[in-house]
Structure 1
Amino acid sequence: MTTNMKYKTKPLDCWQWGKELRLEAYQEFLKGHEEGKLMVLGCAATPYGMLAGLGDFVFLAGEPYGASVAADPPFSIPCMETYEAKGYSRDMCGYMRNFLGSMFLDKYYFTGGSFPKFDFAWSVRHCPAGHPKWHQIVSEYQDIPMNYIDDETMLAVDGDPEHRIDYVAGQYLDTIEWMEKVTGRTYDDEKGIEAMRTYFRNESLWGEICLLNGAIPAPLDIKSMFALMPISMLRRHEKIATDFLTTLRDEMKDRIANEIAAVATERYRMCMLTPPPWSFLKVFRYLETFGVVFVGTYVYLINSGEVKFLLDEGEAVPATVPEERPGWPEMKNREDLCRTIARWRAEHPFQSHLDIRKKEYIIIYNHWHGNAYLLLMNRGCVPMTTSMYDFQRDMQAHGIPVAMFEGNFADCRDIDETGVLDRLEAFLEGQGIQKLPSL
């Protein structure tokens, strides 16, 4: 029998451990209050490690929960219909609609039991899709306090950045006092500092893991990356996440050294900018039958991890943790902690302006040895879709083939699966990529 296998392949040795750690993060909400832990709502980009200064806590980031719900249409559709029946608009954030619908139904996705009751909501402003307004609805519905940080202080803006960093650091200090007031707990500076050190380390590790996928063949496919990414997104402050991510990184290096591929028939490498349509992840497995491997997506390179883009050199390298960066002081107290977080957020790639982001897209594409970009015109996140055609033109001006489709990352009702597959097959045919013969 003729085989199409080109590279060796095998499952990740740490795969089962990763699945267990991911599920643990969500199951903690079943017993959080019983164990005396604070239960806090926020967004995934929040520097939530600093909550450790209040003691043990469980943090639920709304986006990965909304994505998990979206990936299961029989659960997701009733959630969104319940949300819409309350009079809220269908053109709002798709994650928000799944999350709020789950809350209104009083059904927690991972158990089928009651939706968790939070002690408070706290986050950074983060996203112009309206995350604070999302959490305000939760705050009013559950009658819990909320507090938000206004932190869009990109250093790419002209002028002295120090006053902007001072402004944000002051908000974090005020937030600590607010947390002490609403919880009745005393903030322990050292515990907050230590948890944020772990948080920074794990962000760097996940960024390094993503960069390792520039190897040929790619040691990890994007669907597996999506499955493991919540460990970095939800457990960045935990030492066990450091242990897992270190193990995963080392296994990636071993796979690279031994040319062990995620997709044995790899012959065409595609990159993304955004999250995928979560209800349609099978598209990645289907395209593997063409020898296509998706090597990464920009958003989770810098929204579960951190890398350093060297714009002049055209390179992306693993990020150094803040206290090891030249000129950054050691964190010794809450003032140091808050200023470090403010400066780190300001210099993080997530804060890049669009012109700089265009350069980053090209850099990571080259690093991943991409053959094409796949862009999603996402009905579920209007800000994410802003400038997408501009990005497309810029990529094409750099000679990068671009495929594009319309859909919704969190609403299965807004994606034409057959139409998307037809469009992608036509694109690949234009690139000279045909479906591989069956094994």
Structure 2
Amino acid sequence: MEQKYKTAPLRCWNKAKDIRMNIYQEIAEAKEKGKLLIGGGAESLIAIPSGFEHAMLVGEPYGAAIAYVYRENPELYMQIVEAAEHAGYPRDLCAYMRDYLGSLLLNKYIFGGPFPHLDFCLQAGFCDTHSKWYQIVSEIEKIPYFSLDLVPFDWEIAGESEKTKQLKRDYIVSQIHEAIEWMEKTSGRTFDDEKFIQGVMNECDSTSVWAKICIANRAIPAPLDEKTILSLYVLAVIGRPRQDVADFYKECLAEVEERVANEIAACPYETARIITDSQPPWFALDFFRLFESYGVVSVGAHYSFALSGGWEYDPVEKTWNAARTPRERGIEIKTRDDAAKVLADWWLSTGTVCRGVRHSGAGKIQRIMDMVDKWHVDGVVLHLNRGCEGTSMGQMEIMQALQKRGTPVMTFEGNHADPREYDEQRTFARIQSFMETMDLKQIYEFKKEK
């Protein structure tokens, strides 16, 4: 008989949903309330516009929301994605981008009403497609566009010199100042340095605390499952410089630590633990529940841990801990330049998704191995994601490295935001076969969520 753990819903769950919907409502109402409305990517320095009264439509989570619509309204989803394809954007591009462009071209905001038309776009050269994404938006909308050239640090295993790191810091700081001056000139509005400083501090707080939440999930039983994590991490993706998001994560951490202390589990059975890689198919998250029917809990992913988390490398232990915030390190932020330096260093030093996209190889393998060890992982599931060339980079090398160390690995093909490239029956069959190879029996009957 399998051990059954206590479970309970998260008390902060509804607050997380409310914050997310409030952000999308603010986007819809920004223009009528006299705010700037800015478009840009999740991986960009979204704290930069904090010096203005503004709302920001962050593209990737918006694309994920469109993909999720397929579950309830497949006809609407097809209208959106086909609008992008009819305009000449092929299926081998970023699926988030295609969903976003289809919504723009149809003039349909997925949360109701017309697409909220932007004042300008502020983006970063993070991955190949995203560098062009907002250039296309600016051309369609006939609005100004500014792109930062963000060059990430190498993975720590590469031994990058301090001289090169400082050159990268200085390069990004200079671009932050240039972006602020450009936004002031473009908008005709004055930038508030105090608000910018607070936005940078909030970003550091949000991402550091999110890393602590992820670390708390090392506990057995895990207090959070990945399906829940995917609903929580998104707040930092769309709003990490916001005060309400920074405050929420502190509240969430306290509750998660309370769950750990009282052995309150995310799932009633935990006979094995897995992690995943790349974004999930947002329209088909039921596969997590199939794993759980075998007592297998997915405790996280490099993607969700890293895109929203601030991580600090420990060269002695060769592991990653929650990054210490400027406040925790005794760093004062008094001026615009101080804030720009902190923001540039924070993005470079604590972000690991950017390195997985630009510098994969041995560094990401080391990080995945670290997660396997520290989160007590029994197997790894790799989503061979046709919709994201960045996060799928180097996955076969990761698979080989895991197999070499004896960690069971399962792969499945799909697309995080295009259901036409995901075969659910085939994926479920692969999961069932994977469970057999791990000698795991189904504990209860799996039923798809409606």
Q: With structure 1 as the length reference, what TM-score do the two structures score?
A: 0.94
Q: What is the CA-CA distance between 1:323 and the residue it aligns to?
A: 5.0
Q: What is the CA-CA distance between 1:123 and the residue it aligns to?
A: 1.9
TM-superposition CA deviations, 1:354-411 (whole Å, max 9, x none) = 2222111111221211111100111101232221101111112222111111111110
Unaligned runs of 5+ in 2: none
Q: What is the CA-CA distance between 1:155 and the residue it aligns to?
A: 4.8
Amino acid at match of 1:18: A
Structure 2 counterpart of 1:227, from 231, 253, 262:
231
Match of 1:417 in 2: 424
Amino acid at match of 2:115: F
Structure 1 counterpart of 2:334, from 332, 335, 340:
332
Aligned to 1:204, what secondary structure does the other structure show?
helix
Match of 1:436 in 2: 443
Aligned to 1:409, what secondary structure does the other structure show?
coil
Match of 1:346 in 2: 348
Name the CA shift for 1:267/1:236 in 2 (closer, same or farther; >3 Å): same
Amino acid at match of 2:334: K
Q: What is the CA-CA distance between 1:429 and the residue it aligns to?
A: 0.4
Kindly report which structure 2 residues correspond to 1:13-412, keeping only aligned pairs within 5 A, or say none.
13-54=11-52, 56-73=53-70, 74=74, 75-111=76-112, 113-128=113-128, 130-156=129-155, 158-159=160-161, 160-161=163-164, 162-325=166-329, 329-348=331-350, 349-352=352-355, 353-354=359-360, 355-412=362-419
Q: What is the CA-CA distance between 1:5 and the residue it aligns to?
A: 6.1
Partners of 1:89 and 1:435 in 2: how far apart? 40
Amino acid at match of 2:121: A
Amino acid at match of 1:296: G
Partners of 2:132 and 2:287 in 1: how far apart? 33
Q: What is the CA-CA distance between 1:48 and the residue it aligns to?
A: 1.6
Aligned to 1:71, what secondary structure does the other structure show?
helix
Unaligned runs of 5+ in 1: none
TM-superposition CA deviations, 1:391-437 (whole Å, max 9, x none) = 11111222211111111111000011000110111011011011114
Q: What is the CA-CA distance between 1:339 and the residue it aligns to?
A: 2.2
Q: What is the CA-CA distance between 1:240 and the residue it aligns to?
A: 1.4
Q: What is the CA-CA distance between 1:351 and the residue it aligns to?
A: 4.0
Aligned to 2:346, what secondary structure does the other structure show?
helix
TM-superposition CA deviations, 1:316-374 (whole Å, max 9, x none) = 32111135448xx5322222222222222222323433222211111122121111110
Partners of 1:316 and 1:175 in 2: how far apart? 31
Q: What is the CA-CA distance between 1:121 and the residue it aligns to?
A: 0.4
Amino acid at match of 1:332: K
Q: What is the CA-CA distance between 1:21 and the residue it aligns to?
A: 1.0
Matched residue count: 432
Partners of 1:176 and 1:437 in 2: how far apart? 56
Partners of 2:145 and 2:251 in 1: how far apart? 37
Moved more, 251-260 or 23-32: 23-32
Amino acid at match of 1:97: R
Q: What is the CA-CA distance between 1:47 and the residue it aligns to?
A: 2.2
**Cα RMSD between the aligned structures?**
1.7
Partners of 1:138 and 1:179 in 2: how far apart? 17
Name the CA shift for 1:229/1:437 in 2 (closer, same or farther; >3 Å): closer
Amino acid at match of 1:243: D
Structure 1 counterpart of 2:8, from 7, 10, 20:
10
